[in-house]
Structure 1
Amino acid sequence: MTAQTARRFNLAGGAITLVTVICAVIWAFPIYWGIISSLKPEDEVVRPVIELWPETLTFDHYWFALTETQIGSWYLNSIVTALGVTFITVTTSMFAGYAISQLRFPGRTALWWLILASFMVPTQVLIINHFVLMANMGLLNSWAGIILPQLIHPVIIIVYKQFFDQVPRDFREAAVMDNASEWRILFKVYVPMNWGVTTALSIVTFIWAWNAFLWPFLAVTKTEMMTITVGITQVWDAFGVYYARQLSAAVLAGFPVALAYLLFQRRVTQAITLSAGIKG
């Protein structure tokens, strides 16, 4: 490689880095602005000027969100529903992926094509059906009513099937020769060999369930049963909207998933890569 070619590569790399930094700043600025605005008095928030740092730093809005709202109940509802969606979705998807990958039964191919076809259907299309079903079953304003319609994740089944397909058949044949049941083969052979996939999918499913807004917004009308994403829309005052209070509640709502992402960044990236590979 000549010096001129190396110089061109350096210039190209520098340009790409500069563009990446600019895009990162543009993406992160609204988050920064929301956090900083939540630490300002309300009169500073509504000023028609851009102030990158508050003149008066205050935590009153966070205190209001923690003491004058039902944020504790909203957190509890989000934790229960997000954990419920994560556990049920990952577990059932694991069973389904194993059955389609390793078992032979009538209708297996048709079931697989049905799962692939359902992957193409946006969940928003099913909202009306879900609402009618939950209403007829008397499950609105309940944890079960929030959880059940959010259990449709064909992509997780597809990911599991692909990884179970890659496990060498010798392991299964050895387990069968030892008279191991299908349950034991699944939990002693296939799950341990794909434990990283399970962890990654669980983290991403939890984050997705925590951030869900549309269905919890439709399924819950009682304030005490709202999830955190829906509950923060109730942070208002009799005299009008207080933007700083709403922003402080939004920051509190996003803190758990931000923390989860920072702690499990590699697993989250792995799961996103797996999902993107399926979609591609």
Structure 2
Amino acid sequence: MTTITQPQTAEPKGAVNGAKLFNRLCAVCLTLFALIWLVPFVWALITSLRDDASITQSPTSIFAGGWSLDAYSTAWDNHPIGTWYLNSLVISVLAVIFTVAFCSMAGFALAFLRFRGRGLVMAVATAGLMLPTEALVLPQFIEYRSFHLLGTFWALVLPSVAAPISVFVFHSFFRGIPTALIEAARIDGASWWRVYANVCMPICRPAVSTVAILTFISSWNAFLWPLLVLSQTKSQTIPVGLASLVDPSSPQYAEVMASSVLGFIPLIAVFLVFQRQIVQGIATTGIK
């Protein structure tokens, strides 16, 4: 018995060359943008290893004056950077825990539950994406002052919990879960809480990782709101504390750069460790 094989149609040579050219163009653009983003970090690192005299005399010379770690020891000994690290870590971790918990429940409710006013809640969440953070500073300040929360970590944690973008990430992921799986759990007698905790949350680990990492980074980098809320030096976070080190009258370039490097090292470490989870979470929530 003979089998007839269908001839394979080869792609046109022009299409193959066009695909290769496009891939090379994308690689060149990616490399160019990576270099643009990498230059400030490398410059800060090199400047932090030099002394102030050589920086003042020849700012663009990389090897002038030699390299040393004196600026790091001076910055660590003269300023409570360790306390600022701890404050930022506590605030960021609490923000991640509460944001993942509440935003996942909100996204689950908008995805599966049918209740009166659901469209209004969705519209309000959508409107929250359009409001700039600066427009909410004054109302939030008056609100938290009335609750006597100014000067506490809760004034920094609670505003980050109401994150519309996190709600939409979870909502998008939950909408991708097959409805038959939810209906089967409901037929077996599972409550909505069990469906959420035992069925949906174990599946949406990429979304949890994405929201957790992005919340951690945004909470760690927050500057304006912590500057207004936290008044004591020992309760400040890393961005606010680093800004207080800049003295216009007598700038200590190496010390400021060393403090900046100490400030963004944790973020780079978090991204390098969890970059696969970030890409996987964003790609999964965007595919229907």
TM-score normalised to structure 2 length: 0.87
100, 103, 107: which is aligned to 1:90?
A: 100
- Please identify the structure whose Cα radius of gyration is greater: 2
Cα separation, partners in 2 of 1:104 and 1:12, compared to 1, 3 Å: closer
The one of 255, 258, 261 aligned to 1:251? 261
The residue aligned with 1:212 is 222
Deviation of 1:234 after TM superposition, in Å, equals: 2.3
Q: CA deviation at 1:137?
A: 2.1
- The more displaced of 190-199 and 2-11 is 2-11
Deviation at 1:7, TM superposition (A): 6.4
Q: Which residue matches 1:182?
A: 192
Partner of 1:79: 89
Which residue does the alignment assign to 1:32? 42
Task: State the 1:84 CA deviation.
Answer: 1.2
Distance of 1:224 and 1:65 partners within structure 2: 15
TM-score, normalised with respect to structure 1 = 0.89
Residue 120 (structure 1) aligned with residue 120 (structure 2): no
Show the counterpart of 1:63.
73
Contact in 2 for aligned 1:44/1:54 (Cα 8 Å):
yes
State how 1:1-280 maps to structure 2 within 5 Å: 14=24, 16-235=26-245, 240-271=250-281
Structure 2 SS opposite 1:138: coil
Change (3 A) 1:192 1:94: same
Equivalent in the alignment of 2:6: none
CA 60–185 in structure 1, closer or farther in 2 if over 3 Å, else same: same
List gaps (5 residues or longer) in structure 2. Answer: 1-10
Give the total of aligned pairs: 277
Judge conservation of contact 1:204–1:271 (CA < 8 Å) in 2.
no
The Cα of 1:149 is off from its aligned counterpart by 2.2
| AA in 1 matched with 2:39 | F
Question: Shift of residue 226 of structure 1?
Answer: 0.3
Give the conservation status (yes or no) of the 8 Å contact 1:36–1:54.
Answer: no
Q: Aligned AA for 1:167?
A: I
| Distance change in 2, residues 1:32/1:272 (3 Å) | farther
Give yes or no for contact 1:39–1:54 (8 Å, CA) kept in 2.
no
Change (3 A) 1:65 1:119: same
Post-superposition Cα deviations, 1:112-153, rounded to whole Å, max 9, x if no partner, equal 121112221112110011111222222222111122222221
Code of the residue aligned with 1:223 in structure 2: it is: T
CA RMSD of aligned residues (A): 2.5
Question: 1:236 touches 1:245 (CA, 8 Å); kept in 2?
Answer: no
